[in-house]
Amino acid sequence: MINYDILFAIIFYAIILIIFFKYRSKFDVQGKIFVMYRTKLGLKLMDYLSKKIPRLLKIFSFLGIIIGFGGMIYISYFVIIYTLKFILIPGTEPVLSPVLPGVHIPGAPPLSFWHWIISILVLAVIHEFSHGVIARLYNVKVKSSGFAFLGPVLAAFVEPDEKQLIKKSKKVQLEMFAAGPFSNILLAGIILLFLSYVFSPYIDENVQVKGLKVIGFEKEFSTEDLKKGDIILGINNLDIVNKRLSDFFNEVKNKTDQEITLKVKSTLETIKTVSLKVLPSKDDPKLGKLGVLVRGIYDTKDKILIWFWLLTVWLFITNLGVGLFNLLPLGPVDGGRMFTTAVSYFIKDPNKARKLTNLVSLILLSLIVINLLPFLYKLLIFIITPVINLIT
């Protein structure tokens, strides 16, 4: 069976490589893995908005500082506490995860290649454009904007004049640094409202599943009776074909520690019955879950609606996740620059200020690496397994 995500990825990056080699002189390669393509896209709009709505932008940028430092405290506490749980409590999932197609994030739907590319592009453009608008609000020159690739990951950027920026007050610097993460968090909030009150209720009422395809299992789940590729057709006495997806999950969530029966069509096209125990959810032990990862099967019209619903969900997840991650007091990210600026205000000795910011960055970087170890291990196994198979 064709893996369309891999196929689309090959086509997409092949096109990018063709463009890169054809217009090589227009690209700036830094450190062999960061490739920039400078443009003037959006610069006139940045100027226009900074002059048209300066009062609104000043309110936005001031709120950005408040939300920025609040988010910095929250995400730092979150990463420290849950990394300690990951280290000390066996079976705990890492709190941080790379947002990549094929990487399962607990509680999130599967991420396809195009959902990933579009989500990353939207969040990057919003993030960098916000930096540019606030820069122009305070008459800091934006030299260029453009697109970039950090390895295979798509990015966007704006280039403010750093010499002009460093001469501005610390408040102005903080407003500019906070603008990007705050715009992502604000957009995530708007998307969440749209999902909660418009899109998700519409999907639930109007889209019917033809079955649920098993695509994987959570770590604590194990059974020989259910396999990847099986299609769930019913649960207990409820036939879920041509029913709402919520009907299936409603049948599960209130049956923690109880046994349920699934009607399943196997990959061999035979119908079988599978008995499973409903597990307590880690987020709320009163709510049940099966520990089975499923993907709905839909008619063509409904597939299109679900595709856009999933895109909206991933726009929310990526904007909120990347927005908060960028607020970590870590090195060159926005939170790191905010933290450095704040520390330099309270600690006048540059050496002491630098030592403190370096120490905080080192601690957080270590916690991030610890969280990513399971994914790095899986990547290593994925790479070396074919080699071992060839040798043996």
CA distance 151 to 170: 33
Same domain, 152 and 105: yes
Same domain, 231 and 334: no
Q: Is the Cβ–Cβ distance between 315 and 99 less than 8 Å?
A: no
Average pLDDT over the chain, rounded to an integer: 90
Amino acid at 5: D
Final residue before a domain boundary, out of 240, 267, 297: 297
Final residue before a domain boundary, out of 297, 327, 346: 297
Amino acid at 367: L
pLDDT digits (tens, 9 = 90+) for 124-158: 999 999 999 999 999 999 999 999 988 888 889 99
pLDDT digits (tens, 9 = 90+) for 282-333: 777 778 888 888 888 999 889 999 999 999 999 999 999 999 999 999 988 9
Final residue before a domain boundary, out of 246, 263, 297: 297
Same domain, 87 and 142: yes
Same domain, 114 and 154: yes
Same domain, 35 and 127: yes
Same domain, 153 and 216: no
SS3 string, 277-315, reads: ECEECCCCCCCEECCEEEEEECCHHHHHHHHHHHHHHHH
Same domain, 166 and 219: no
Can you tell me whether residue 27 is helix, strand or coil?
strand
Domain region containing 213 = 208-297
Judge whether 99 lies within some domain.
yes
Identify which of 324, 322, 314, 318 has the alpha carbon closest to the alpha carbon of residue 199.
Answer: 314
Q: What percent of the chain has pLDDT over 90?
A: 60
Identify which of 148, 190, 172, 159 has the alpha carbon closest to the alpha carbon of residue 57.
Answer: 172
Domains in the chain: how many in total? 2
Q: Is the Cβ–Cβ distance between 179 and 57 less than 8 Å?
A: no
How far lies 210's CA from each of 198, 245, 302, 392, in Å? 23, 10, 11, 43
Same domain, 50 and 152: yes
Judge whether 4 lies within some domain.
no
- CATH number of the structural domain spanning residue 268: 2.30.42.10
Same domain, 333 and 384: yes
Q: Indicate the pTM of the whole model.
A: 0.89
pLDDT digits (tens, 9 = 90+) for 222-245: 677 888 889 999 988 889 888 888
Can you tell me whether residue 152 is helix, strand or coil?
coil
Same domain, 244 and 365: no
Same domain, 267 and 313: no
Judge whether 15 lies within some domain.
no
